[in-house]
Amino acid sequence: MSSSTTAEIQPRYRQLFTELENRFKTTSLGNDKWYILAISTLAASPDPERADQLYLHLTQQADYATSTARQALIRRLREALVKSVPIVGVCKPIEAILAISEVERDEDKDFTFTREGWQCDKANHERGTGWLQKLYARNTTGTLDLFSAHKDFSWISKEITYGLFLSDRQVLDDLDTQLVVLPGIMSQNLPKETHWHIRGTRRIGVTREEVQVIWDCVQLVAQFFDVKLHKVPTVEAVEYDV
């Protein structure tokens, strides 16, 4: 098995991650946010196994010089991949976490389990509905009404996507969560939902200029993988709806 002491980072990935980090430094979003976008775009990409490159890049930085720091890091990366499941499907996040697992040192393994004992109960419904309404606000009812003839999808949105996955705050905060969801959706060139989540990211207090940096970073990763995102709206085009 490889270890993070011997596995090497490909220079092109190091360059990509450094560029993402530098772009986030022009914002006030925080220095632990860029890699959430990175892992979510990798999970949505044609090559999710390269999540190992991100992990190696991060664990060679001074902030993650201790085993305790690396365990805290993997909790954040893992939760981002868990939250990616309803966005990109289960298979790519599995490939990503297994790739990371292959380069983790044994002493850095983290055995915490966030969803143990989860129930699809009233508390879950209220958490999910609360987060849904925070993002959608006046558009909540109208959006859910789109599924009036397809009620399984509104149920999945409320109880599973938002209840089980996106409203869980044990590891990632509101901004972290949107840095999973918006980049994951946008990476798939999905126009309607990209609009909804540019709008939702603005509604949780991220400035227009900072959302533009997020948008640009997603495009940067897409270009890295030769993926064309030609159907997604611009930040400017969504601003009227915020």
The per-residue pLDDT for range 26-56, each reduced to its tens digit, is 999 999 999 999 999 999 999 999 999 999 9
Count of structural domains, the chain: 1
- Residue 129 counted as domain residue: no
- Residue 156 counted as domain residue: no
- Residue 221 counted as domain residue: yes
- Residue 122 counted as domain residue: no
The number of beta carbons lying within 10 Å of the beta carbon of residue 36 is 25
Residue 66 has pLDDT above 90, yes or no: yes
Tokens of 195: 């609009």
- Tell me which amino acid residue 111 is: F
- Residue 121 counted as domain residue: no
The per-residue pLDDT for range 76-128, each reduced to its tens digit, is 999 999 999 999 999 999 999 999 999 999 999 999 999 999 999 999 999 99
The number of beta carbons lying within 10 Å of the beta carbon of residue 126 is 12
- Residue 17 counted as domain residue: yes
- Residue 233 counted as domain residue: yes
The per-residue pLDDT for range 185-201, each reduced to its tens digit, is 999 999 999 999 999 99
Mean of the per-residue pLDDT values of the chain: 96
- Residue 104 counted as domain residue: yes
Give the model's pLDDT for residue 7. 79
Residue 43 structural domain: 11-109+173-241
Confidence of residue 6 (pLDDT cuts 50, 70, 90): low
The number of beta carbons lying within 10 Å of the beta carbon of residue 80 is 27
